[in-house]
Each structure stands twice: as C-alpha cells, then as structure tokens.
Amino acid sequence: MSEAPADSRPSPAAPTAPSGRGPQLASMAVASALLMEFIDSTALSTALPTLATAFHTDPVHLKLALTSYILALAVVAPASGWAADKYGPRRVFMIAMGVFLVSSVLCGFSQSLVQLVLFRTLQGVGGAMMTPVGRLIVVGVAPRERLVSAMSWFTMPALIGPLVGPPLAGLILGVADWPWIFFINVPVGLLGMAAVMRFVPSLHQPDPGPFDTKGFVLAAVAITSWMGLAETAGIGLIPPVAQAAVAVVALVATGLYIEHARKTERPVLNLRLLRYLTFRASLLGGTLLRLGLGATPFLLPLLFQVALGWTPLEAGLVTIGTSVGALACKSVAPSVIKRFGFRNTLIVSNLATAVLTAAPAAFRHATPIPLIVALLAIAGFMRSMQFTAINTVAYAEIPPSTISNASTLSVVLQQVGLSLGISFGGLMLHVARGQSEEALTPERFILPFLAVGLVSALAGPIYQRLPPSAGASISGRTRE
C-alpha cells in the first residue's frame, strides 16, 4: 500500500464549535436522531419469529430482513463523506432521516418477505448517511480533549436502542400487529429531527472536489459480492458454480478498487488512512468484534422464542440486561481508559466480551433467568467498554482534514462486519441443524454461539500490537 500522506490537501481551519455545553448538546441531538435507527433494528430482531409466521417462511430466512438493510448501508455509506463535505453535514443528516422515516412506513405496509427486504434496503440508504455523517458532526464540534465524552454520548443510541427496542417490540406484538414496530419510528424520528435543527450548528467543510464515481462503483460491486457470498455460503441457496463466479467478481472488484485508490487523490474510500496504526487496529479489531455483535441479535431471539418457547415480551425483557450493562459502563468508561490506557482496556474487554458472547451456548430451560440477565448485563458492560475505546482511539492520529474520510471508511467496515456476523451466525445455525432442517432446540445453538465468541476473540492479538501510549493524547493518560 502506498505510503503517501493520507490527504495531500492543506488542513482547513477547524470548524467553529459551539462553546460551553454546545458540543454536548450537539452530540445528544445527533444521538437522539439516531435512536430511532437502533430501536428499529433491535425491535425487528425480536419480531423475527412473528414475521416468519406472518410471511410463512423459516425463521432463519428472516436474516435477509437484517442483512438487506446492512448491505444497503455498507454500499451507499462511501458516498456519505463526500456528500457531507459538499452539501453540509446537517443538511445531509436531515435528508437521510427523512428517507429513513418514509421507508419505515413502507416497511409497515409490506405484504411479503420480498417487499420487506426491498423497503429495508431503502431504509439502509437513509441509514447509510445518518451514522457516518452523525459521527462527522460529533467529531467536528467537540474539542479533541473532550472527544471521549462526546463519543460516549454519540454511542448512547446503540445502548438505549437495544434497551428500548426488544421490550417495545414485545409490547407491540402483545397488543397490536407487527407493522407498528416500524410505524413507531415516525414520532421518534420527528423529535430527533427537531433536536438536530435546534442544537447542531452548520459546519463548513473543505471542498471535496469531484465525486469518485469509478471508485464508488468498484467498491459497491466488491462489497455486494462479498456480502452476497457470505449470505449464501454453505446453505445451498445458489449452485456452487454461481458461488464461485461471485467469489471471482468479489476478488477482481476488490483488487481493481485497491489499485484505483492508490492512484486517486481523493478516493471514495481512502485506504491510505490505514497507515495510521490506531485507526487500522480500530477497524480490523472492530470488524472481528462485530462478527459476534452482528450474530447475537439474530441468534438470541430465535434461542429464546423458538428453542426455549418464550413470548416476545419475555424475550425482550430479558435482553434488557445487555443494555443496562452497557449504560452502566458509560459513566466509567472515560475514567477506565484514562487510568489504564486504550491498549490495556481493549485487550481485557475483548477477552471478556468473547467469553460472554459465547455464554448463551449454555442456556437451557433449567437455566435460572436471573443468571441469564446477569450474564447479558456483564456482556453489555464489556462490549460498551470496548466499543467506546475502539470508536475513540480510531481518531487519535487522524488529521482534521481527513475526518470525514475516516468516518466513512469506519462505518463501511463496521456494517460489513455486522452483516458478516449475521450471515456467519445463520451459517453456523444451518450447520448445527443439518440437512434435515430439524426443529430449533437449545442444543442447536451451541455451535453458533461458540463460533462467534471465538471469532470475536481474534481481535485480541490486533490490540496487543498497539503501543502502551496509543491514543494518550485523547485519553488524558500522560504517564505510562
């Protein structure tokens, strides 16, 4: 990979950030707007068994409703950084929220799995602009010494969403039909848009130049091919010859894009940013970790509702434990990172996260519910600690002029990791069931959860290569 500077443009003047509580209010406004996205995703995961009944399909096939959204997000997200720089982060963010709201209503009117997948794809187009542009806003308004705190607020929807989504879905399914899982996005989204208009300033970004159309097409083909290959691998959905052809397309498109990115001054995905050690470790380690994170919301509802026979409300209430633990971590994460540094925090939290991700493999009918809740709460705590650390250390060395590029690349790889996690979890469940398509029993979930836990643990060696002083300039830890 070329060792040329990540961006040859001169650094622009830093955007005018709000003073006082301005950065915190702006971060909270963006977070409140993103909340509907995370509520939607976690609520849908809880409703998968109900949707399988409504659409007369196997529950495992409902993973398409999750991966279609993530696929669209990963494909369109590369354009988000350029669009935000060209038209302004706040304007792009508001348009993305409008697209998300309209597509949510369309999802509620779906009459088949095919329609749901199509409208979820449209949702992904809106989400593709929301998350990376939201991160760009937060990084743009927060002083670097307050970035850990600002990012902590920014990641709050990812914690509150899973807290609210599952029990909300269970409650809705108990008193109404499944479309209301999508319709509930409308009031939440409108409140979020009002908060963004009130508290988020208009940031002035440098001129991004012409859009990298060739790079965007190559990246879209590569991402779609890799994720399509992961989605169909091992389940006999398409013939082996077709899978081989998709693999060839994926390899060729990836190679062509890498060569294109090396020669292009402003590629749509700036791979030269990977020369920064902390950014590279964050992306690679975070992608492996998200393989486990992506699989868990898909596997847990099936384990609880299909294998253990719980109601959607019971399953939703139990999974609250994950979000309670994650929320509890938010008040202590900055202090822990300051005391022990990014490297030590990442290594320890990764090991704990991997073990706890695999823990549901042992859940049975006789497993005490308080024990399940406690394990899920501790898992949420450790995941929150790890994501706060990796999402923040990624920007420790990134020049201000390339923040939007870094945010875009980060979001794309995050979504690819989540999608691969869902596909990997589905594949492991398919393997555990065998060709007989036997009923889902608790024993069928042993292999899937152990496998995703093992993959999550592979991020540990990546974190170990970080120096003890990694991210010291933003962690507040001056002595090692």
Tell me the per-residue pLDDT of 71-119, one tens digit each, with 9 for 90 and over: 888 888 888 778 887 888 888 888 988 999 999 999 999 888 889 989 9
What is the predicted pLDDT for the residue at 448? 93
Q: What is the DSSP letter of 305?
A: I
Range of the domain at 232: 212-267
Q: What CATH number does the domain containing 361 carry?
A: 1.20.1250.20
Residues 197, 195: Cα–Cα separation, whole Å: 5
pLDDT tens string for the chain (480 positions)?
333 333 333 333 334 444 445 666 777 777 777 777 777 877 787 788 888 888 888 777 777 787 788 888 888 888 877 888 788 888 888 898 899 999 999 999 988 888 998 999 999 888 888 877 877 777 777 666 566 666 666 766 666 676 677 777 788 888 888 888 888 888 888 888 888 888 877 766 667 778 899 999 999 999 888 888 877 765 566 777 888 898 899 999 999 999 999 888 888 888 888 889 889 999 899 888 888 777 887 888 889 988 898 988 888 788 778 878 887 887 888 888 888 889 999 999 999 999 999 999 999 999 999 999 999 999 989 988 988 888 888 888 888 777 777 877 887 887 788 778 888 888 888 888 775 566 788 999 999 999 999 999 999 999 999 988 887 777 655 544
The C-alpha atoms of residue 312 and residue 174 are separated, in whole angstroms, by 8
Domain-embedded: residue 13: no
167-193 per-residue burial string, b: 16 or more CB within 10 A, e: under 16: bbbbbbbeeeebebbbbbbeebbeebb
- Dihedral of alpha carbons 396, 399, 400, 403, sign: negative
Distance, in Å, from the CA atom of 155 to the CA atom of 163, rounded to the nearest integer, reads: 13
Q: Does residue 112 share a domain with residue 252?
A: no
- Domain boundary (267, 287, 314) is at 267
Do 46 and 131 reside in the same domain of the chain? Answer: yes
R_g of the chain, CA atoms, integer Å: 21
Position 419 in a domain: yes
From the number of C-beta atoms within 10 Å of its C-beta (0-12, 13-18, 19+), residue 433 rates as middle
Q: Say how far apart CA 271 and CA 252 lie, in whole Å.
A: 17
346 and 282: one domain? yes
Residue 9 lies in a domain: no
Is 436 a domain residue?
yes
Q: Which two tokens stand for residue 301?
A: 């509802």
Task: Specify whether 415 is located in the same domain as 395.
Answer: yes
CA dihedral (219, 221, 222, 228) positive or negative: positive
Q: Supply the pTM of this predicted model.
A: 0.72
Domain boundary among 234, 251, 267: 267
244 and 387, same domain (yes or no): no
Residues 312 and 374 grouped into a single domain:
yes
Residue 124 domain-assigned?
yes
Q: Do 275 and 259 have their domain in common?
A: no
Number of domains in the chain: 2
Q: Are residues 205 and 224 in the same domain?
A: no
Distance CA 138, CA 127 (A): 17
Q: Residue 384, CB half-sphere, CA atoms under 13 Å: how many? A: 32
Residue found under tokens 């399940």: 372
Tokens 């069928």 — which residue?
444
Could you tell me the two tokens for 262?
A: 């090396």
Quick: pLDDT tens for 27-56. 777 777 777 777 787 778 778 888 888 888
Long-range contacts, 18-25 (Cβ 8 Å, 24+) = 18/141, 18/201, 22/141, 22/199, 22/201, 23/138, 23/141, 23/142, 23/143, 23/146, 23/150, 24/149, 24/150, 24/153, 25/199
Structure tokens at 280: 């590279």
Residue 375: CA atoms inside 13 Å, Cβ hemisphere, count? Answer: 16
The sign one gets for the Cα dihedral 36, 37, 38, 39 is positive
- With a CB cutoff of 8 Å and minimum separation 6, the contacts of 167 are 313, 316, 317, 320
For residues 169 and 282, membership in a common domain is answered with yes
Which token pair is 254? Answer: 């990836």
Burial class (CB within 10 angstroms; exposed 0-12, middle 13-18, buried 19+) of 76: buried
Helix crossing, 333-358 with 446-457: angle to 10°?
A: 140
Q: Do 180 and 218 have their domain in common? A: no
Sign, CA torsion 279/284/288/293: positive
Asked if the structure places residue 120 within a domain, the reply is yes
Residues 449 and 365 in one domain: yes
Burial-class residue 219 by CB neighbours within 10 Å (0-12, 13-18, 19+).
buried
Q: How far is CA 222 from the centre of its chain?
A: 19
pLDDT tens-place string over residues 325-381:
887 887 888 888 888 889 999 999 999 999 999 999 999 999 999 999 999 999 989
The answer to whether the CB of 81 falls within 8 A of the CB of 140 is: no
Cα distances (angstroms) measured from residue 22 to each of 29, 142, 146, 150, 242: 10, 9, 12, 11, 53
Indicate the residue among 229, 252, 267 that finishes a domain.
267
Domain assignment of residue 11, yes or no:
no
Same domain, 255 and 290: no
- Is 4 within the bounds of a domain? no
